Structures are given as C-alpha cells and as structure tokens.
Structure 1
Amino acid sequence: MDRRSLAFFVGLGRALLVLVISVLAGLSVTTANAQIPVALDMRIAGDREVTRIVIEFDRPVEVDQRLLDHPWRLVLDLQKILYGFPGDAADGSSLISGVRYGDMSEQHSRIIFQMTGPFHVRSVRMRQDRESARHNLVIDLEAASELEFAEAVDRAFTTSAVVNSAQKRDRLGTAVQPSRPFTVVLDPGHGGIDGGARGAGGTREKDVTLAFARALRERLSEYAGAQVFMTRDTDVFVSLGDRTGFARQHGADLFISIHADYLRRRDVRGATVYTISEKASDAVAAQIAENENLADSVAGIVPDEESNGVADILIDLARRETLGFSVQFARLAIADMKGFARLIKNPHRFAGFRVLKAPDVPSVLLELGYLSNAEDEKLMKDEEWKQGLADRLALAIEKFAALSSKDIAVASDGN
C-alpha cells in the first residue's frame, strides 16, 4: 500500500471515529433530556373577566404558584423543564398581557404571567388527557378587585427560599480557603428567565455577558496570582442579593458585574465603567441603574427591605472606604481599554446600582457597550474584539492586584 492510500484510510478512520463520538454524544444529551419534563404546548383562552391557561406536559409535574403585585403577576415555580410552547401565547385579549419563562437554577424553572389587572386564582390542577396521554396543567383565573387581590397576596405570600437555597447550593459548593490568591468574582448580568436587553439584531444581553465573562476568566487563568469565580456559568437566573452575597462569601478582592444594556438613544455607544453612588452622574447612568435594579422584579422576586439604624451607619463607613478601591480599579480599567475599545464620553460614571452595594468588596459594573447601538451590537458578537477586550481588562486586574498587595503590606508594617 502506498503512502497516499495509507493516508486515505487513516483519514477515513479518523472521520468515522469523529462521527461515532458525535452520535454517542448526541445520544447522551438526548438521554439526559429525556428525564426532564417538556412543556409541549400552552393555550390561553377567555376574556378580561375569566381566563383559562392550559400547559401540556409529556409527564406529570409539581408546581407552586404565588401572586405578585406592582405589577400584577402569577408566578409558577416548577422542577426543571424544557420549553416547547410558543412565546406569544398571550394576545392581550384575556386577563394575561404577557408571558416570560426561563431557568432559575439547574433544578428549577419559572413561568411568569403578566396580568392586565388584579385577579383571583380559582383553581390549579393537573389532569391527564386520555386521547393524547399528555398531562395538562389547568389554571382558571377570574378578575378581582384590588382589595381582594391584596388580601390574597397577604394570605398566600411565600418566599422563594427553596429556589434561592438551591441556587446557593449549585454555586457555593466550594469552601473558601483561608489562604488564597487575589480573588476576582465575575458576574455575567441577567440569565435564565431574565434575558436582559435585546439588540435590534436579536442579540441577548444574558448571552453576551456570559460569553465575555468566560473569555475573561480564561485570560485570567494565565495569571498565577489570581483565582476567579463566576456568579453563574450557565443560563440560569441569579438574584441581585445572591450575586453580592456570592462575592462576599468567596472573600472577593474585586467584583465585576458585566452588562450590555439598551438605551432610548441609539446613538450612544462605547464601553462604560460604573461605580456606586446614591446620586447618578447623568441621565444615562440613572436609566441604566433603574433598568438593572429591576432584574429581581423581572424574575418574580420581591427584594428584601433594607434595614435602618446603627448597622447602616457602620455599613456606610465601610462602603466609603471600599469605594476608593472601586474607583481606583475603574480608572485602571479605562486606561487599559483606551486605544482598543471605543469608550463612551466620560467613561467613568456612577449611579445607585444594587449589585454594587457589598460594603466590603471593591465593585464595578462594566458596560461592554449598548445593544441599542448597531455598531456596538456587531462588536460584541466579534470573537477577536471579545478576546482583545478581555486581554486589556486582565491587565488592569493584574495591576490592581499588585497595588492591593502593596497596600496590605504597608498596613501590616504599620501594625
């Protein structure tokens, strides 16, 4: 057999091996998905007085339901499901004006029905269709007064402790070691049921932020002096409180929340670095903070009320000291991004972002750009641009880590 023939058969063998591996991988995914209930269809019928929701599953599911106001919503919490129903089931003619759905963790899914007004849940039941063998979740709703709805919320309100604790178990499995390198927590904004902004070309903010966080984590893996954690590494929802709590539990030396928002002004573009402040630096910063602070509400989570008193005073003192470090990193990041990334005018801005409120963790919110701008949206999908920006931010993080270690050494000498 000559060399050409040998090369041909070797190549054919490799191709067949790749094909077999691909088929086996596909079977593995199919087998795994076969264990997850599938919502095959959703139908909504009725008017502004009485409405019925029917969700067809391929097997029985357990569901918890609760009510939320401001605005009026019905929230369904389920075990992990797959979504096979159309996203436009609500046409506005019934009590339901819109539907959102997505994963809250690796084990839990959520469907949220936005309502046109206050309502009452008459019944929630699971029944099997004998002809199709499908399992139908049937929910009957009727219009109610605001007072009746408020009373129902008071009677039936329960926290999402089960979901939140599951999220924490998913993400906090590794204990923080007492002696560790410089710790960076990357926070890809949005996720799961909360898709965030969407560009004119269909780009979703939650996908952009996760892809960039992974690229930056990969780049930082080359830096021996750092360890990196991510608040999410899959398409799941993480509440604002859990994001900051995750950073504190991991003893973060730096927290970077990554976003790509949508503005009413489509001509605004460029990367921006935000630090926290009770008063926004400008109208754009105020709009971004308002949008981002609604993330929990979008996912059907009621934020905890902030405490008052002496503890708040101590927290404010700690936050003021930490703010200096946050500003220091913001300036380093902007300096290293210049010459590569397009920056917005006055790229260091500030506003009251809830996700930046950890009092003892230097924190910034990085806008990669704005999905409302076609050029920014195009850049954020470009692999070369993503890797280049990750390189420059990694350099800024390395410089900040070096400065932080010097500060610690000086403080130790002073003691």
Structure 2
Amino acid sequence: MDQRFASSLDGEPSNTRALSRRRLLGAATTLLLLPVIPRIAMAAQLLAVRTWPADEYTRVTLELDSELRAEHFTLENPHRMVVDIQGMDVNPALNELVRKVRPDDPYIQSLRVAQNRSNVVRIVFDLKQAIAPQVFTLKPVGNYKYRLVLDLYPKNAQDPLAALLKKNPQKMEEDPLARILEDIGRNPKGTGRATMPVIPNSVAPPIEAKIAPQPNNRRGRTITIALDPGHGGEDPGAIGKGGTYEKNVVLAIAQKLKARIDATPGMRAYLTRDGDYFVPLHVRVEKARRVKADLFVSIHADAFVRPTAGGSSVYVLSERGASSTSASWLAQKENAADLIGGVNLNVQNQNIVKILLDLSTSAQIKDSTNLAMRMLDELKNVYRLHKPQVESAGFAVLKAPDMPSILVETAFISNPEEERMLRSQAAQDKFAQALHSGINRFFAANPHLIASR
C-alpha cells in the first residue's frame, strides 16, 4: 500500500504518527528530569487556647486540628522561654492567647507572638522567675483534638510539706515535727544550733492507757488529712446537663471541708489542688505521702449513663476486682483522667510506676474500709445513699500503701436534680460536715493510728 494513503486509527498518515510518538516520548523524558515541586502544606488550624495558672505550675495549651512539632529553649537576664511551633502561621486566634495571661500568674509576665519564618510561629514568654519547662503533645482524646502543652514549673520547686507548714502557722506549736522542720529551714547548712523541741509523752501513749473516744487530738501530734478534689484544669470531670463541671463542685466541697478540719484542734488539711488546674493521679498520691498524711480522701461527683441514677457512694481500693459493674465502670473512667488532663509520659520513671502498681497491704484496705463505713453513716444523714455498703474497685488514686484512702462520690452530677443540689452552697456545706464528722469518728475509734504515725 502506498504510504501516502496509509493512516493511523486517528486518521493521521503513518509517518505523522511516528513523529508524534517521538515528540510524546521526548516530552515525557523532559518531565521526568524536572524537579518535583511539593504541594504547599496547609497551616494547622488553631481551635482553642487555654491557660491554667497555679502556684505549683502554669499550663498553656494550644488545641489544633493536626499534630505539630515544637522546639523550645530558655534565656536569662531577664528570664524568658522561646517556643518555635512548626507547621503554623500567625493568625488572629493567637491574639487570644496573649489576652489570656492573668496579672496574678506566678510565672508568666507577658508573651509575644510573631512569624519567625515560613510556617514557623515563635512565642516568647516573658517570665517572672526561672522555670523548668516541659513541652509535649497529646493525641486526640475525648472532646479534645491534638494538643500542644507547655507546662511551666518553677526551677526550684517548693516541697509540699514546707508549703503546708507555711499555710498553717497556727499549727506549728502543737506539732513537734513541724517545729523541727522549721528549725532546719532556718539553718539549712547547719550554721546554727536548732532547738530540739520536747515531744510530749502523750505522742506515744502506753498500751494500757484508756483514751476517751473524742474527735479532738490532744496527744501532741497534728493529724494531717489529704483532701483530693478530683479532676481540674484541662480535665473537667463529669459535666451535668445544666453545664455544671464536676471539678468546680468538688473543689468547693473540699475547701469547705478543709476549713472545718483546720478549725479542729489537733488537725490540719492539705489540698492536692487548691485551684482550677490539672494534677496527675500519681502526683496526688505522691503529694499526700510527702506531707505525711494520715488519711487520703478523694472527693468526686458521680456520673452514669442513666440520668435517674443518684445518691452518695464511698469506695476503697480492691485487689481482686470491682465489687460491681458500676464500680468497675467508674474506676475506668476516673483512671482515664490522666489521658484527658494530659500527662507528659516522657518524664515518667520507675518510682512513679511503682507507686501506681504497688498493691496496698491488707491492713491499709481494712483501715480504709473502716473509714468508708463511718463516712457512709454520716452521708446518709445529709442525703440518700446510692448503695448502703462500701464498694471497691481498682482506683489508681487510692494506691497509697501507707495510709487509709477512700474515694467519695457525693452525688450524681448526671442527675439533673442532684446537679442543682451540688451547685447549692448549703448542700456543699452539708457534705463537708458529713465528711468531717466521719473523719472525727474514725480517729476517735482508732487512736492507735495516730500514735503509729
């Protein structure tokens, strides 16, 4: 066939088709040799900014729609912290972070935000004191998306026991240990002679001595009660349908209970948190042990899937599993507080793990049950009980092996009627009164626990 009449399937002559093929191959080769230009990454969207200032530390949280990397360093003269956040551009939402700095924040004086370079935002914190920062990210959990967390701890952290003594100067004279520690504080390097106080013989009464069952401790040693208001800060706890946060209600009850305990001769209270900030579960236990607490009382406001559930409950630690399905469900929910509140797993160590995994002795659980029974007796006088008996489950916050520990669920915040009650200051005071009476009854019936500590 004459090539002039030969054609391809698209109607082109064969020689034209061959030329087109060569051009196509050449163009493809050229494309392969060209550099690949990546698609411009979209900057992360800032969803919310939050700050939680407290004496112990200040937390700053940036919630975003994607995970980011951050680098940080500190500077002196004056004290500053610089944080570079990658994958982010300056936007109006960051101005909200500037406005959230409170004048009474013990660590942050002010902060500045600027675009350091393409896709990198720099935040400069002007500080009031030297800090030991922790910067970490959290993956989505609960209602939160990705979070970048900046925890500003003091470089020289105050010991919880020293803080407790500082807040309770009126208890110093009746507590020999407090006076010893005060003298050590005045003479940290042994440059002077500390006066050793005379410890009354009544601190360790003879076995045959008969002690009258009374709430007041007159044996020369101050009883320390660790009060643990659940949740706080990033972790609101249960939220009622009326918008009531568990963390606020239980803090109010704990503060009222603390006032009653501090007004009782021979007693003082220590709060594991005294404001709206997050405290990890193991830190709550550790703080109670550092102040040599005689009791640990964790205060909560229950929640359940059924809004009709109600009443007060008291829980102790279980070594053999939960006493009921609801107890198991509640323990799992409370133990997940660290996930919600946000714990920096990079600073976990074997001592912390040991505290959480160390099983309490049977004697501790026995004393805890004894305390819990007295609490139930008092709570039923101010409100109805959810169950008439003490319940048990594997609560991480109750795993202190050397002190009786209980968890009190004052009422169900998921019950609309009880939510309204929990908001009432009168009801909060009644719960505080009941818990105070239970503590007094417990020590009156168990004076040996005071002497043994």
Query: Quick check: 1:328 aligned with 2:370?
Result: yes
Contact 2:68-2:87 at 8 Å conserved across structures: no
RMSD: 3.8
Q: CA deviation at 1:51?
A: 3.7
Q: What SS is found at the alignment partner of 2:386? A: strand
Q: 2: distance between equivalents of 1:276 and 1:185?
A: 17
Residue identity matched to 1:110: V
Letter matched to residue 267 of structure 2: A
Q: Does 1:50 align with 2:69?
A: no
What are the within-5 Å matches in structure 2 for residues 261-272 of structure 1? 261-272=302-313
Give, in whole Å, the separation in 2 of the partners of 1:167 and 1:204. 33
Q: 1:371 to 1:173 in 2, by over 3 A?
A: same
Q: Does the Cα contact within 8 Å between 1:104 and 1:163 map onto a contact in 2?
A: no
Give me the whole-angstrom Cα distance separating, in 2, the residues matched to 1:358 and 1:347. 22
1:37-57 Cα distance to aligned partner (Å, 9 max, x none): xxxxxxxxxxxx734346xxx
CA contact (8 A) 2:238 2:302 kept: yes
2:257 match: secondary structure: helix
How far apart, in 2, do the equivalents of 1:137 and 1:261 lie? 44
Q: Is the 8 A contact 2:294 2:450 kept in 1?
A: no
Q: CA deviation at 1:167?
A: 10
Instruction: Output the CA distance in 2 between the equivalents of 1:165 and 1:324.
Output: 39
Amino acid across the alignment from 2:270: F
Flag the 1:406–1:162 CA change in 2: closer, same or farther, 3 A.
Answer: same
Provide closer, same or farther for how the CA distance between residues 408 and 386 of structure 1 changes in structure 2, counting only shifts above 3 A: closer
The code of the aligned residue for 1:386 comes to: Q
- Please point out which of 158, 175, 196 is paired with 1:169: 158
Alignment partner of 1:103 is 2:52: yes
Which is worse superposed, 342-351 or 247-256? 342-351
The answer (yes or no) to whether the contact 2:164–2:270 under 8 Å persists in 1 is no
Conserved? CA contact 1:196–1:204, under 8 Å = yes
Q: 1:166 to 1:334 in 2, by over 3 A?
A: farther
Moved more, 242-251 or 171-180: 171-180
Structure 1 stretches lacking a partner, 5+ long = 1-48, 55-88, 90-98, 142-151, 154-159
Say whether the 8 Å CA contact 1:187–1:255 is kept in structure 2: yes
State the alpha-carbon separation in 1 of the partners of residues 237 and 338 from structure 2. Answer: 11
| Cα separation, 2, equivalents of 1:239 and 1:285 | 21
Residue 314 (structure 2) pairs with residue 273 (structure 1): yes
Q: String of CA shifts for 1:350-379, please: whole Å, max 9, x gaps.
A: 111111111112111111111110111011
Distance 1:320 1:227, change over 3 A: same
For residue 206 of structure 1, what is the aligned residue in structure 2? 247
Alignment check: 8 A CA contact 1:247 1:361 kept: no
Whether the 8 Å CA contact 1:128–1:136 is kept in 2: the answer is no
Match of 2:267 in 1: 226
Report the alpha carbon displacement of residue 397 of structure 1 after superposing the two structures with TM. Answer: 0.5
Specify which of 218, 222, 229 is matched with residue 181 of structure 1. 222
- 8 Å CA contact 2:358–2:399 kept in 1: the answer is no
Report the structure number with the largest CA radius of gyration: 2
Per the TM alignment, residue 205 of structure 1 is displaced from its structure 2 partner at its CA by 0.8
Aligned amino acid, residue 372 of structure 1: S
Query: Is this contact kept in 2: 1:274–1:348, CA < 8 A?
Result: yes
For 1:257 and 1:370, locate their aligned partners in 2 and report how far apart those are by CA, in whole Å.
Answer: 15
Compute the TM-score of the two structures, normalised by the length of structure 1: 0.62
* Shift of residue 339, structure 1, vs aligned partner: 2.7
Residues 169 and 200 (structure 1 numbering): CA distance in 2 closer, same or farther, change over 3 Å?
Answer: same
Amino acid at match of 2:303: Y
Instruction: Give deviations 1:286-320, integer Å, cap 9, x for gaps.
Output: 221111112122122145476799x89x953x532
Alignment partner, residue 355 of structure 1: 397
- CA deviation after TM superposition for structure 1 residue 161, in Å: 11
* 369 and 263 in structure 1: CA distance in 2 versus 1, 3 angstrom threshold: same
The whole-number CA distance in structure 1 between the counterparts of 2:257 and 2:393 is 25
Structure 1 partner of 2:424: 382
SS at match of 2:429: helix
Change over 3 Å in CA distance of 1:315–1:251 after alignment to 2: same
CA separation of 1:115/1:287 partners in 2, compared to 1, >3 Å: closer, same or farther? Answer: farther
CA distance in 1: counterparts of 2:398 and 2:278, whole angstroms: 18
The alpha-carbon deviation at position 261 of structure 1 amounts to 3.1
Instruction: Pick closer, same or farther for the CA change 1:344–1:53 going to 2, 3 Å.
Output: same
Residues 262, 225 of structure 1: alpha-carbon distance in 2 compared, 3 angstrom cutoff = same
Any conservation in 1 of the 2:44–2:65 contact (CA below 8 Å)? no
Partners of 2:49 and 2:388 lie apart in 1 by 36
Distance in 1 (CA, whole Å) between partners of 2:309 and 2:156 is: 35
Contact preservation (8 Å) 1:280, 1:350: yes
Q: Is the 8 A contact 1:52 1:140 kept in 2?
A: no
Q: Aligned in 2, Cα 1:366/1:213: closer, same or farther, shift over 3 Å?
A: same
Q: 1:215 offset after TM fit, Å?
A: 0.9
Is the 8 Å Cα contact of residues 286 and 351 (structure 1) preserved in structure 2? Answer: yes
Residue 137 of structure 1, CA deviation: 5.7
**Secondary structure, in 3 states, of the residue corresponding to 2:225?**
strand
Show CA shifts across 1:215-268 (max 9, x none): 111122332121111111111211111111110001111011111132112111
Contact 2:43 2:89 in 1 (8 A): no
Equivalent residue letter for 1:228: A
Matched-pair contact (CA < 8 Å) for 2:300–2:409: yes
**Structure 1 range deviating more: 391-400 or 160-169:** 160-169
Uncovered stretches (5+) of structure 2, i.e. residues with no partner? 1-40, 71-84, 99-111, 121-135, 138-148, 166-175, 179-220
TM-fit CA distance, 1:395 = 1.1
Aligned to 1:174, the other structure's residue is in SS state helix
SS in 2 for 1:358: coil
CA contact (8 A) 1:195 1:205 kept: yes
The answer to whether the aligner puts 1:284 opposite 2:329 as a matched pair is: no
Alignment of 1:102-141 (within 5 A): 102-103=51-52, 105-106=54-55, 107-113=57-63, 115=65, 123=86, 135-136=112-113
Distance in 1 of aligned mates of 2:58 and 2:352 = 33
Per-residue CA shift, 1:388-408, capped at 9, x if unaligned? 221121111111122332355
Counterpart-to-counterpart distance in 2, 1:344 and 1:337:
11
For 2:225 and 2:419, how far apart are their aligned partners in 1?
26
Aligned residue pair count: 299
